[in-house]
Amino acid sequence: MRVEEAATTSPYVDLMFIFFFLLYATLATVGIIVLRKLFRNNPVEVELEKKYPSIEKGDS
Amino acid sequence: MTYEIIGITVLWLFLYGYVIVASIDFGAGFFSYYAKKTKKDHIINQLISRYLSPVWEVTNVFFVFFFVGIVGFFPDTAFYYGTALLVPGSIAIILLAIRGSFYAFESYGSKQSNVYMFLYGATGLLIPASLSTALTLSEGGFITETNGEITMNYLKLFTSPYSWSVVFLAIVSVLYISATFLTFYASRANDTEALKLVRKYALFWGTPTIIAALTTFIALGQHNQRHYDRMLDLWWVFGLSMGFFMISLGLIYIGKYYGLAFISVMLQFFFAFFGYGASHLPYILDPYITIYENATHQSTGIALIIVFIAGLFLLVPSLILLMKLFLFNADYVKGKK
């Protein structure tokens, strides 16, 4: 069996390629936006203070 | 009992497991969105998010097992369905990807995004709809083979009343299975407010489930007379299914024994699913694939059966263990852990 014999005969492969391309493009963009939002307006210090309010500031 | 029958039964068991576990997950996602939309999310989101996190990874294992099994056992299914399901299958995969990633975005990203939640909830209903087309196609009439080339008649698929009734049945069943499970889960967590709400959902989706089942039954009679007659021969299986439906709805209505109610729902779908499957035989794809002519060699078949039964013995206890550890751990359910 050669590759061209094994390939699907469905005529919709191009269309599915476009769909998957759009899917990954969208996921990449939204993923970057979400990650940026997650870290941009949310410095580590604030997050740690929120999580461990019992530890006093300047305590090393 | 021949090895072909045993093989397809084991595979069908996997698919049944997927239907139940995935329905709960898909439905819970939708209810989570719906509650947010109707401003009731503060009541049930605690409960749903507790349920959704640990289990949804496991659901796909059933599905993967089923796929590997059916291609291994009946190699011709890959040839026929591979071509025919390229579009519905790709759509389902895209929707699964959207669902999974937007769930992650929703929980880690911006807190107040209704769009993310909408995508998560809506795909939960669209995935079963697109997957259910595989069952529609198996009835025959949509896939034709000419000179070794498979063509699928999309126009016929989209205009067939049978195909739409299956889609409707899939969506409604997902919501009913999920609502009854959440009712049981809420009662386990002693969360009275949430229980009231999800019990209402369960009662609401009960009637459409039966209406959809009957519509599908009638539409099947017009689409595939042979299958319909075989189903009538197995009327008692569907009678049992109907009986368990009555029990589950009755128990939820009187507001007691929610655990038993959910088991009745599982049995309701068990009988309906196996009644459908048994009457579908010997065809896997009417009229091209039958379980006898297109099965793999006997020695491979028996090896596969052994492996899959072993797989069931591994998967089901691990699922029970997972449920014991997380879902039904009293502290976890109440949100103390």
Q: Which domain holds residue A37?
A: 9-51
Best B85, B90, B144 member to test A by mutation, with max A CBs in 10 Å, is B90
Q: Which ipTM value was assigned to this complex?
A: 0.73
CA distance A21 to B174: 29
Instruction: Assess A28–B contact: CB distance below 8 Å, yes or no.
Output: no
Say if A2 falls within a structural domain: no
Q: Quote the tokens at residue B303.
A: 């090896």
Instruction: Say yes or no to pLDDT of B171 above 90.
Output: yes
- What are the domain boundaries of chain B? 3-333
Is residue B152 within a helix (H) or strand (E), and if so which, with residue range? Answer: strand B149-152
Cβ contact B86–A12 (<8 Å): yes
Question: What pLDDT, on a 0 to 100 scale, did the predictor assign at position B112?
Answer: 62
Cβ contact B86–A13 (<8 Å): yes
> In which band, very low, low, confident or very high, does the pLDDT at B176 lie, cut at 50, 70 and 90?
very high
Cβ contact B87–A12 (<8 Å): yes
Q: Quote the tokens at residue A40.
A: 């941009």
* Cα dihedral across residues B36, B121, B102, B67: positive or negative: positive
- CB < 8 Å to A37, chain B: 109-110
Question: How many Cβ pairs within 8 Å bridge chains A and B?
Answer: 44
For B283: left if phi > 0, alpha if psi spans -120 to 50, otherwise beta; the answer is beta
Instruction: Assess A20–B contact: CB distance below 8 Å, yes or no.
Output: yes
> In which band, very low, low, confident or very high, does the pLDDT at B268 lie, cut at 50, 70 and 90?
very high
Cβ contact A20–B90 (<8 Å): yes
Question: What pLDDT, on a 0 to 100 scale, did the predictor assign at position B266?
Answer: 92
Coil vs helix vs strand at B290: strand
Instruction: Say yes or no to pLDDT of B177 above 90.
Output: yes
Say if A28 falls within a structural domain: yes
Instruction: Assess A37–B contact: CB distance below 8 Å, yes or no.
Output: yes
- CB < 8 Å to A40, chain B: none
Q: Please give the tally of structural domains in chain A.
A: 1
Question: What pLDDT, on a 0 to 100 scale, did the predictor assign at position B332?
Answer: 64
Share of chain B above pLDDT 70, in %: 94
Instruction: Say yes or no to pLDDT of A51 above 80.
Output: no
**Chain mean pLDDT for chain B:** 84
pLDDT (tens digit per residue) in A2-25: 888 777 777 788 888 999 999 999
Give the C-alpha distances (Å, rounded to integers) separating B200 from A39, B206, B284.
41, 10, 38
Nearest-neighbour CA in chain A from B163: distance (Å): 20
Compute the average pLDDT of residues B103-120: 75
pLDDT (tens digit per residue) in B13-60: 889 988 998 898 889 888 888 888 888 777 777 777 777 765 666 778
Question: What pLDDT, on a 0 to 100 scale, did the predictor assign at position B45?
Answer: 75
* β-pair partners for B285: B289
Question: What pLDDT, on a 0 to 100 scale, did the predictor assign at position A58?
Answer: 58
pLDDT (tens digit per residue) in B277-311: 988 888 888 778 888 877 778 888 888 888 888 98
Instruction: Say yes or no to pLDDT of A55 above 70.
Output: no
Nearest-neighbour CA in chain B from A14: distance (Å): 11
Say if A16 falls within a structural domain: yes
Say if A59 falls within a structural domain: no
Question: What pLDDT, on a 0 to 100 scale, did the predictor assign at position B267?
Answer: 92
Say if A18 falls within a structural domain: yes
The answer to whether the CB of B218 falls within 8 A of the CB of B171 is no
Say if A4 falls within a structural domain: no
Alpha helices in chain B (DSSP H): 3-37, 41-73, 76-84, 86-108, 114-138, 154-159, 161-188, 192-223, 225-233, 235-254, 258-280, 298-322, 330-333
